[in-house]
Amino acid sequence: MSEQGSSQGNQYPPDPELSKTANARPEMKEQGLEEFWDEQAKQRIDWFEPYETVLDWQLPYAKWFVGGKLNACYNCVDRHVEGGKGDKVALHVVPDDGSDSADAHDITYAQLQRQVVKFANGLKKLGVGKGDAVGIYMQMIPDAVVAMLACARIGAPHTVVFGGFSGKAVDERCTDFGAKVLITQDEALRGGKAGAQKKNADDGLSADTTIEKIVVVKRTGGDVPMTDGRDVYYDDLVADLDDDPSSCPCEPMDAEDLLFLLYTSGSTGKPKGVVHTTGGYLTGVTTTTNLVFDVKDDSVYWCAADIGWITGHSYITYGPLANGLTSVLYEGVPGYPDKDVWWKIIEKYGVTILYTSPTAIRSHMKWGEQYAQSRDLSSIKILGSVGEPINPEAWEWYRKYVGGGSAPIMDTWWQTETGHILITPLPGITTLKPGMAQQPFPGVKPEIRDDEGNALGLNQPGNLVLTQPWPGMMRGLYKDDERYRDTYWSKYSDAYFAGDGAKYDDDGDIMLMGRIDDVTNVSGHRISTFEVESALVEHELVAEAAVAARRDPDTGQAIVAFVSLVGENQGDDELKQTLREHVATQIGKLARPAELIFAHDLPKTRSGKIMRRLLKNIAEGEELGDTTTLVDPSVVEVMQKQVNPT
């Protein structure tokens, strides 16, 4: 039911039936910070030893559930088996070629437990123990989830590197973390094509890599290079190992022991190793999964993200499994083998909760609603959106065609650094407004401030900050206290600076307005302009490079690279293609510039500073205004002629 007429557009009040049964209760927002999280931690997490203190907050570092001992894998797997839910399906595994495939299968909690135990025993055999870093470079296959849980089981922190990143990115991250073991798969299977995975990893290994062993899970059985003494097939590693849970008990971990690092892009420098620990993170993701998606024992949950991102960590692996849910784990891409594959999956498994990105919704929208309409999607109860602001048209389409015109959409704002959802509507409570994340989760205290630190009121755009800690917040950047303080805690001395622009609407609901730094968001993936620039200048023909983002109707933002070449080289279409591919091999395909523009120089002021604002204007195809301060105003004309904004 839509109510027209508000200044913001449509509004959708909660269904009163849902309000009666929803897990989230309005009173939760009235609870004190520690009271709320204490209650959640006790109710939702099994502790081997209870914590003494809920929160120890010494800005900018928080410790949660101090003194408590627990194990994330125990909470995600073992306790469900011990509690009699061993036969419940944990994962509906849907392979690349769709749910009808002979490879499609279910994994129960009891089976998951045995697989994890076996994997953990394999890691132990390689000498991995508590505190030893492990790298994971895989696609969306169940073994990836098993590998993460196996690490958690023995207390070995993991760092998952997105399967679409380059081998160089893998080596950089694993070596920064000091990982000696890397887990990968022979080949990636996406959209019906087998692509390199293990070989990418090999190609990226540097002379000073810390990786000593590579475990290779077979996905396609394709022929891949194996180095004697270093590489081992997973099947061979575990052939004679036990899968009985008693053979590998869950390691009791301190609440503040490292669970994982996840590297993410900043506006400058190398990727940042975001530190997440065990007790607070697990409490945060378990609670938010439960309340935001209103999960029930019979829910069938599908988060269509990738385990290589924080969304996959929090809302494919840890959050849903800790809640004992049945989830869909999908290897493929939207649109293969058919454009209706997503809707077929929802129909076949009776999916009740779908959590995906605005970019994916926009692709489906572009293909047309006939695909969704050809399937029975009546099982859907709750929808989620994450990764970038969702435009109201996509929101309305999602609700109408996927949500049967009635399913509430949770537009969830959070970050790699925040660990879990912080700003979101709640089912049964919030009157929804298309395109807005709207309300802080219980215990979360946002503010919108101007550059001087003044708190802003309604309809005044500013910087989003958080003035209170939350359990899943990062515990710093790996071995870089200075960068942590600089990036997040120096703009304002008393609050977490998120890097997003935001404003309150007339009713005080929060609207996110995109990054305010040099981090771009392409299809919900964070890419720093700095990293793309660094990759470009590594090419021998490139003298200088600068990168800007322009709006894109499909991917949210698209990368436009401005390049000046060495010598007298003018560049041509072939070189544009070569340089775009160069970025793809250096970083990963998702960082490949949508457009590349050559000029004899970049637009610089007399002091030598590149005028980035101008590049942004050029990329967007906007009016430039005054360019007289440039050393050579002719560069912008050369650039403008090449731009072709969609």
Residues that bind ligand WT7 (CB under 6 A): 264, 309-311, 386-389, 411-416, 437, 498-500, 512, 515, 521, 526
CB of 586 to ligand WT7, least distance (A): 19
Q: Which is nearer to ligand WT7, 24 or 54 (CB)?
A: 24
Beta bridge partners of 552: 556
Element at 69 (helix H, strand E): strand 69-70
Would you say 393 or 544 has its CB closer to ligand WT7? 393
**Non-local CB neighbours of 609 within 8 Å, separated by 6+ positions:** none
Q: What is the closest distance, in whole angstroms, from the C-beta atom of residue 305 to ligand WT7 in the complex?
A: 8
- Rounded Cα distance between 262 and 318, Å, is 14
In angstroms, what is the minimal distance from the CB of 417 to ligand WT7?
Answer: 7
Residue 262 Cβ, how far from ligand WT7 at the closest point, in Å?
9
Cβ closest to ligand WT7, residue 292 vs residue 635: 292
Closer residue to ligand WT7 (CB): 112 or 409: 409
* 212 in Cβ contact with 246 (< 8 Å): no
Q: Which H or E run includes 597?
A: strand 595-598
Bond before 337 cis per omega within 30 degrees: yes
> Nearer Cβ to ligand WT7, position 128 or 466?
466
Return the number of the residue (433 or 515) whose C-beta is nearest ligand WT7.
515
Task: For residue 260, give every residue at least 6 positions away whose Cβ sits within 8 Å of its Cβ, in sequence order, or none.
Answer: 148, 151, 157, 158, 159, 160, 276, 313
Q: Considering beta carbons, is residue 122 or 446 the nearer one to ligand WT7?
A: 446
Residue among 94 and 512 whose Cβ is closer to ligand WT7? 512
User: Which distant-in-sequence residues (6+ apart) come within 8 Å of 293 by Cβ?
Assistant: 299, 301, 353, 355, 382, 384, 410, 427
327 near 302, Cβ under 8 Å?
A: yes
CB of 634 to ligand WT7, least distance (A): 35
The DSSP letter of residue 77 is: I
CB neighbours of residue 479 within 10 Å: 12
Question: Residue 410 Cβ, how far from ligand WT7 at the closest point, in Å?
Answer: 9
CB 313 within 8 A of CB 339: no
Q: How far is the CB of 565 from ligand WT7 (least distance, A)?
A: 32
Q: Which residues contact 42 (CB under 8 A, 6 or more apart)?
A: none
Q: At closest approach, how far in Å is the CB of 564 from ligand WT7?
A: 30
| Strand duo 89-94 + 326-330: pairing | parallel
